[in-house]
Amino acid sequence: MTYAERLPSPDLGRFVRCVWAHEEVSRSGEPFRVLPDGCVDVVWNGVSLRVAGPDTGPVLEALPAGAPVSGVRFHPGAAPALLGVPASAIRDARVSLESLWGGDAVRLAEALSEAGSVEERASLLEQAMAGRAVRAGAPDPLVGALVRRLAQGGQGSLDGLASELGVSTRQLLRRCTAAVGYGPKVLERVLRFQEAMRRMQAEPEVPLARLAVAVGYADQAHLAHETMALGGLTPAALRERVR
């Protein structure tokens, strides 16, 4: 399996984290495990366009055998501006892009089915997103500030986060749920889980107990609980996966 990411065109930078492609995802058609990352993806699986909503647990994704899969991954909180629905409406779900975009999605799928290369498919996906971006408002700046705060290792109570960001607790919860798909505390867990995976990949020899504390878990048992809840894997199995 070959997986590659690249940055989007500059005009999409505030919405899209990356454009990605899997070549020969599965010769047998066996499902592969998708782990929560706080993001929403639009995915072309060789047959149809699907929206992968923000996940709160592991998802076993079934794809046609040997399908060349391409996609666009939004920054946490940015998808609603281009998709036209709150992220909470597609949480833990896989929905057709046609159900959100109508005929625009049908025409994009037809073009993708005729594309002859990974780069051509990526360009078509980008062009479609850029067309929406011209008419879209900016992603919620409050949610952007929250994501940056949590990604830097910030933790705290919901009331404390709201106070730091200058809004009420109710407003923070409402705006985060609409933009990201779930509340700030779930987002905190997902981003910490992602940081744990990054550390496992970058520092494979560091003992798990030390890594757990370094990324904000209380101890190794806390790490184990979260990797099982969010990834369906033990810390050792997760480390082996990301090597």
* Predicted confidence (pLDDT) per residue in 103-156, tens digit: 999 999 999 999 988 889 989 999 999 999 999 999 999 999 999 999 988 778
114-128, 174-188, 195-209, range with the lowest pLDDT:
114-128
pLDDT, tens only, 210-221: 999 999 999 999
Q: What domains lie within the chain, and their CATH numbers?
A: 2-135 (no CATH), 141-242 (1.10.10.60)
Q: Tens digits of per-residue pLDDT, 31-81?
A: 788 999 999 999 999 899 999 999 999 999 887 776 778 999 999 999 999
* Ramachandran quadrant class, 187 (left: phi over 0; alpha: psi -120 to 50; beta: rest): alpha
**Which pairs count as long-range contacts for 131-136, CB under 8 Å and 24+ apart, including other chains?**
132/82, 133/11, 133/12, 133/15, 133/81, 133/82, 136/15, 136/81, 136/82
Q: What is the pLDDT of residue 26?
A: 55
Residues 6+ apart with CB under 8 A from 47: 64, 67
